[in-house]
Structure 1
């Protein structure tokens, strides 16, 4: 018998992995500027000016400092 709950969870979209630059840190919560101009907050260890990966409101780790390039199709 299939697991109906697992099938339901598979229908939900996966949480995206985002990257951005830390602009402020206060009490374990970092404010992160995304490349498109958006601002999010995430829990975790980071320092101001550091680039980080963020998923679901939690810092996953450091991100490489690469140049952002946006393309249109």
Structure 2
């Protein structure tokens, strides 16, 4: 039976965990990749499906797929 709690219905629409875009710097050969966040922090994530030098989506410490190369703009408000 489906829940009638509106808050629970709303929460079910939002995926668990945050998604981050990283630049893959190396595939380590052991099922992990080394990647760099936008702020320069280096992280090791699970998965080697995206090649070095490409952008990837990472969710819960795992590579979920390739991310598009889009221009980045900064605006001060």
Matched positions, count: 63
Contact preservation (8 Å) 1:30, 1:42: yes
SS at match of 1:15: coil
Write the distance in 1 (CA, Å) between the matches of 2:38 and 2:64: 17
- TM-score between the two structures when normalised by the length of structure 2: 0.67
Cα 1:48–1:57 change in 2 (3 A) is: same
Structure 2: gaps (5+ residues): 1-7
Cα 1:72–1:56 change in 2 (3 A) is: farther
Picking from 59, 67, 72, the partner of 2:71 is 67
Picking from 35, 39, 43, the partner of 1:36 is 39
- Residue in 1 aligned with 2:50? 46
Structure 1: gaps (5+ residues): 1-6
- TM-score between the two structures when normalised by the length of structure 1: 0.70
Q: Kindly report the root-mean-square deviation, in angstroms, between the aligned alpha carbons of the 2 structures.
A: 1.9
Write the distance in 2 (CA, Å) between the matches of 1:70 and 1:28: 34
